[in-house]
Amino acid sequence: MDLSQHIRERGLKATPSRISVMKVLESDHRAYAHADLETIFSTMDRVTLYRVLNDFEETGLVHKVIDMDGVTRFAYCKHSCPDTHHADEHVHFNCQVCRKMFCLENMPAPSFNIPKGFKAMGQNVLVFGLCKSCSAA
């Protein structure tokens, strides 16, 4: 799989920053916070990193999810989403101990029977608790 090509297919230039961020996101389908990636890429400008992540999200390469601390995280879209909306609405798991967030890709988010008058457009389902390594320890 050619990451540069994957990025260019969405109309974005395949720059070094984008390629290296995408390499991390693509290799491990966890939702990464800006701070996580800033640690990994200590030399990358922080505004550039924000813009890389937002551009990826807007073009459907990654999806955005808010974690239990209110921090925005980004995760690779297994099957790139149409640029109109994100089609991969699955449950996310957030570990209370290590704070890592996992995409439960084969657990689709259910739909809910919302009271009359409300119009549901989507949902964020977040389960929190202990991840595998933290519940073992």
Partner DNA sequence: ACTTAAATACAACAATGTTGCGTTTAAATT
Partner DNA sequence: AATTTAAACGCAACATTGTTGTATTTAAGT
What residues make contact with a copy of itself under the rule CB under 8 A?
A: 66, 68-72, 91, 93, 96, 102, 104, 107, 110, 112-115, 117-132, 135-136
Residue 107 interacts with which of a copy of itself, Zn ion, DNA, none, CB < 5 to 8 Å by class = a copy of itself
Q: Is 125 in the site for DNA (CB under 7 A)?
A: no
Cα-Cα-Cα-Cα torsion 2, 6, 9, 13, nearest 10 degrees, comes to -90
Burial class of 53 by CB neighbour count within 10 A (0 to 12, 13 to 18, 19+)? buried
Task: State the minimum distance, in angstroms, from the CB of residue 74 to DNA.
Answer: 10
Which one of residues 3, 6, 17, 125 is an interface residue with DNA (CB under 7 A)? 17
Q: Is 55 in the site for DNA (CB under 7 A)?
A: yes
Q: How far apart are CA 48 and CA 72, in angstroms?
A: 16
Measured distance CA(112)–CA(80) in Å, rounded? 25
Q: Which two tokens stand for residue 105?
A: 């890709």
The distance of closest approach from Cβ of residue 79 to Mn ion in the complex, given in angstroms and rounded to an integer, is 12
The residues binding Mn ion (CB under 5 A) are 75, 103
